[in-house]
């Protein structure tokens, strides 16, 4: 029974991560990281696994948005190369950050993003 509840939690969690990611264009990682942590994963691995989960969700979302004409390819192509460089830099930086500090940075980022969205 405990195993079925665990599978149910993961299924509901995965669904919610997908909905959040598709609805807001990103953000599923805000749910994925705590979900992985709840299953005993260490901080850095939770972040890495969150990215692994989010990548296919983003690919599906962009396909739907593209089909509806909501993707500005030209503008996106300007951002992608620098985003890739930033992603590589963030990955290298994560190797050097203490997991507790990473947890605090993540929490501050979530609070900042929430306040920015709430206040306008």
Q: Tell me: the pLDDT tens digits for 16-42?
A: 898 888 887 777 888 899 999 999 999
Phi, psi (deg, nearest 5) at residue 27: 100, -10
pLDDT tens for 42-91 read 989 999 999 999 989 889 988 999 999 999 999 999 999 999 999 999 99
Q: Are 33 and 58 in contact (CB under 8 A)?
A: no
Which phi and psi angles does 97 have, rounded to 5°?
-90, 135
How many CA atoms, within 13 angstroms, populate the side-chain half-sphere of residue 54?
Answer: 19
């Amino acid at each position: 029974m405990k195993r079925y509840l665990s599978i149910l939690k993961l299924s509901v969690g995965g669904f919610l991560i997908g909905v959040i990611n598709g609805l807001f264009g990103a953000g599923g990682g805000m749910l994925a990281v705590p979900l992985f942590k709840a299953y005993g994963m260490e901080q850095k691995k939770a972040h890495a696994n969150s990215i692994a989960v989010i990548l296919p969700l983003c690919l599906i979302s962009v396909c739907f948005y593209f089909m509806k004409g909501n993707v500005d390819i030209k503008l996106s192509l300007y951002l992608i190369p620098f985003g890739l460089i930033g992603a590589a830099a963030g990955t290298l930086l994560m190797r050097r950050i203490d997991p507790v500090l990473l947890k605090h940075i993540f929490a501050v980022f979530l609070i900042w993003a929430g306040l920015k969205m709430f206040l306008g």
